[in-house]
Structure 1
Amino acid sequence: MIFITVKFHVRAEYADKWLDLVDDFTRATRAEPGNLFFEWSRSVDNPHEFVLVEAFRDSEAGKAHVEAEHFKAGTEAMSYAVAETPRIVSTEIPEMDGWGAMGEVTPKTA
């Protein structure tokens, strides 16, 4: 699995429009055959920062994502709204195909 996290610092005037701006890109990416998940969150500490957590089945799926037309269109649209170059962590996690269970926290009854 290719696991990627990206932090986007968005210009103030785009902060409340960001999710609408990236909606077509998000929908198209989620529809890619090798996409495992593609999820946006807004920082609780900085209202101008959005965090993208995404994963692809393998490097081939990740490469197809970056070569897709919707990727090119999405990154072009984002370039006008970001305040700085996004920061990224990208790594391959062998033998995983999505989210695993966290063993340290389990549901309990009162």
Structure 2
Amino acid sequence: MIFITVKFTILPERADDWLDLVDSFTQATRREPGNLFFEWSHSLDNPHQFFLVEAFRDREAGREHVESTYFKKAMEDISYAVAMTPQIVYTEIPGGNGWDKMGEVTPCPA
């Protein structure tokens, strides 16, 4: 599995419509057979920052993703809305296949 987190700092005037801007890209990516998850979060500390957490089955699925026409279009569209070059963490997790359970926290009985 490849696991990617990207931090986007958005121009202040584009922050309110950011999720609308990336919606079709998000939906298309989620339909990819090799996509495990593709989720957006909004920073609690900076109203102009959004985080993308995504994972793909393997390198081949990641390659297919970045070679897609909607990826290329999204990167062009996004370039007009970002205030700076996005920051990325990319790692491969051998044997990974998506989310796993956290061992340190379990629900308490009511």
CA–CA separation in structure 2 for the residues paired with 1:35 and 1:96: 13
CA–CA separation in structure 1 for the residues paired with 2:26 and 2:73: 11
CA–CA separation in structure 1 for the residues paired with 2:72 and 2:31: 16
Aligned to 1:81: 81
Instruction: Specify the code of the residue in structure 1 equivalent to 2:68.
Output: A
Aligned to 2:25: 25
Aligned to 1:35: 35
CA–CA separation in structure 2 for the residues paired with 1:60 and 1:18: 28
Percent identical: 69
| Aligned residue runs from structure 1 range 27-66, under 5 A | 27-66=27-66
Give the unaligned 5+ runs of structure 2: none
Give the unaligned 5+ runs of structure 1: none
Number of aligned pairs?
110
TM-align CA RMSD: 0.5
CA–CA separation in structure 2 for the residues paired with 1:99 and 1:33: 16
Q: Which runs of 4+ in 1 moved over 4 A?
A: none
CA–CA separation in structure 2 for the residues paired with 1:2 and 1:56: 5
Q: TM-score, length-normalised on structure 1? A: 0.99
SS of 2:61's equivalent in the other structure is helix
Deviations 1:31-64 (A, max 9, x none): 0110000000000000100000000000000000
